[in-house]
Amino acid sequence: MLGKVVVVGVGLIGGSLGLALRRRGKAREVVGVGRSAERLRQAQLLGAVDSFTTDPAEGVKGADLVVVATPIGAIVPTLESLAPHLEPGTVVTDVGSTKREIVEAAEKLAAKYSFAFVGGHPMAGSERTGVENADPYLFENAYYILTPTPSTPAEAISRVEELVEAVGARKVAIPPDLHDYYVAAVSHLPHCLASALCNLIASLPEKEAILPLAAGGFRDTTRVAAGDPALWRDILLTNTDPLRELLALLLQVLQELEGLLAKKDARELEEWLRRAQTLRKEVPTKSKGYLPELHEIVVTVPDRPGVIAHLASLLAAKDINIADIEILRAREGEGGTIRLAFTRSEAQEKAYETLAAAGIEVRKRGG
């Protein structure tokens, strides 16, 4: 069990960490630190912290683990203000979605003030913000990336790994530079594209006539653009080099598409689309290197209220844990197809047998 865990910044992520630790009984004490006593009191009432203080120096006394869960633009300033008050050997981590700049600054402070730092990035979140939207299951089966460096003490890594396990997440270790490039490709660049598409539509004179026609494809593609602009401003500004490199490559891909359309080359255009389709099919199935493989089944279900809950209850009755779920196709009145993923092949097999025995159309995929 973790001892005293101090969460600095008790919003969506910090609050969810606190809720998960307290509900699972994985920490002796969870202390919230922030600027607003009113917001911290709300966090306490919601069960996210045992106690709170607006005095950082007081809050970190005797801490076994300090989690800096402020907005990304405030992480380094927060570390700078906390550092002089940390006891030697205190383990500190953060939840920032970019890592190189934060880790570099934190390790300089750690060397000066004799604490240990392990960069962290839980790959979980929501378009919603604030402790009122905190969820104790937010990190369940989510990837939680750690970015230790050669100078990171092994004991500190173990302490933060204990946190990751305690909140139900799956640990992935990546160097800070690679982390920033990878998340730029699969998280930050998609956000830029979603925002760019929204800005394009907003700029068209025909916008008012076009928007009523926006269906699932547009909504799915642009969903992430609903995120907090101030939050994403800071994320993008802390990862400009990888993003600019990837944007240059993206422009080449778009120019290739423009050329295919200009030539009206049906064969090459279909091949261009097929390459994209092939990659998209790989996303939820096989994972390589540092990510564990998922074992999947695909279920065809009718369009009926509560059908997903029914599937989940059937599997829960057999103590089968779902690692991931995705609606692949859905049409009103026609039903849809749902992908269920499991971390173990045994769970995949048991789920397949359970649903088939219940008369549900199911097939295995991947694994």
Residue pLDDT, tens place only, 140-160? 878 899 999 999 999 999 999
What's the pLDDT score for residue 127?
A: 64
Lookup: tokens for 145? 């990336």
Specify the range with the lowest mean pLDDT, choosing from 46-60, 71-85, 252-266, 275-289: 275-289
Question: Does pLDDT of 69 surpass 90?
Answer: yes
Specify the range with the lowest mean pLDDT, choosing from 77-81, 188-192, 339-343, 359-363: 339-343
Q: What is the mean pLDDT of the chain?
A: 91
* Alpha carbon separation from 131 to 17, 30, 90, 165, 244 (Å, rounded): 10, 15, 26, 22, 33
Domains parsed from the chain with CATH numbers: 2-174 (3.40.50.720), 178-282 (1.10.3660.10), 295-365 (3.30.70.260)
* Alpha carbon separation from 244 to 157, 185, 200, 280 (Å, rounded): 32, 11, 20, 23
Region 311-326: mean pLDDT is 91
Question: Does pLDDT of 34 surpass 60?
Answer: yes
What's the pLDDT score for residue 119?
A: 98
Region 207-218: mean pLDDT is 88
CB 27 within 8 A of CB 3: yes
CA distance 287 to 186: 14
Total residue count of the chain as it appears in this document? 367
Place of tokens 């630190």: 33
What's the pLDDT score for residue 344?
A: 84
Region 289-307: mean pLDDT is 76
Whether the model pTM is above 0.85: no
Question: Does pLDDT of 309 surpass 60?
Answer: yes
Lookup: tokens for 98? 């970019």
What's the pLDDT score for residue 323?
A: 84
Q: Could you give phi then psi for residue 251, rounded to 5 degrees? A: -60, -35
Question: Does pLDDT of 137 surpass 60?
Answer: yes
CA distance 94 to 120: 5
CA distance 314 to 354: 7
> Residue 329 — pLDDT band, cuts 50, 70, 90?
low
Q: DSSP assignment, residue 292?
A: P
Question: Does pLDDT of 217 surpass 90?
Answer: no
What's the pLDDT score for residue 334?
A: 38
Region 5-16: mean pLDDT is 97
CA dihedral 76, 77, 78, 79 (to 10 degrees): 50
Specify the range with the lowest mean pLDDT, choosing from 39-53, 286-300, 335-349: 286-300
**Which residues are CB-neighbours of 36 under 8 A, at least 6 positions away?**
54
Region 228-247: mean pLDDT is 94
CB count in 10 Å sphere of residue 301: 19
> Residue 180 — pLDDT band, cuts 50, 70, 90?
very high
> Residue 333 — pLDDT band, cuts 50, 70, 90?
very low
CB 74 within 8 A of CB 100: no
Mapped onto helix, strand or coil, the DSSP state of residue 174 is coil
> Residue 84 — pLDDT band, cuts 50, 70, 90?
very high
Question: Does pLDDT of 204 surpass 80?
Answer: yes
